[in-house]
Structure 1
Amino acid sequence: MGSTEQLDVHLNIGKKNGITKDEIAAEITHLVFYAGWPKAWSAFNRAKQIWQNDD
């Protein structure tokens, strides 16, 4: 649960390809239904760190 070793790389690639903060939040919301709340919450926390300067 919460294995996020590869998540930073994938989120950074997504950000470089133009995914916005709102778009990643929507995608992670969908993740809750497929992967469960603990994994989605881990992804959300990582995404917050990566998109923190995009205000």
Structure 2
Amino acid sequence: MSNTPSAAREAYGKIAPALADYTDNVLFGDVWQRPGLSPRDRSLITVASLVSLYRINEMPFHFKKALDNGIGRDELVELITHLAFYSGWPTANTALMIAQRVFDERNL
């Protein structure tokens, strides 16, 4: 196990250590590791849900995770474009701005 704190521990581990533990062990340990879907598929579903629900705080982390799980830049843009017709233009516009920041950070 790494000595580097997880994103959850960094974000809120001091104030809510139990939530950080659940995030690390249940969500990303159990749920994300279930055999029924690949990590790539789980990322597509998660990103689509976050964009549709306008969960802007979680988008940067999950856009990066999606890229790490094999989803390409163009696929993320296409996913967001597609969702504009289902979740609305404002959600897509905001998601694209957040995605662009992630792409810029990664020089994509």
Q: Which residue of 2 aligns with 1:10?
A: 62
**TM-score of the two chains, using structure 2 as the length reference:** 0.46
| Equivalenced residues, count | 54
The 1-side partners of 2:65 and 2:55 are apart by 18
Q: Which residue of 1 aligns with 2:97?
A: 45
CA RMSD in angstroms, aligned pairs only: 1.6
Greater radius of gyration (CA): 2
Asked whether 1:20 is paired with 2:72, we answer yes
Runs of 4+ in 1 over 2 A off after TM superposition: none
Percent of pairs with identical residues: 36
Higher relative contact order (CA 8 A, sep 6+): 1
Structure 1: gaps of 5 or more residues: none
Q: Which residue of 1 aligns with 2:81?
A: 29
**TM-score of the two chains, using structure 1 as the length reference:** 0.83
The 1-side partners of 2:55 and 2:70 are apart by 25
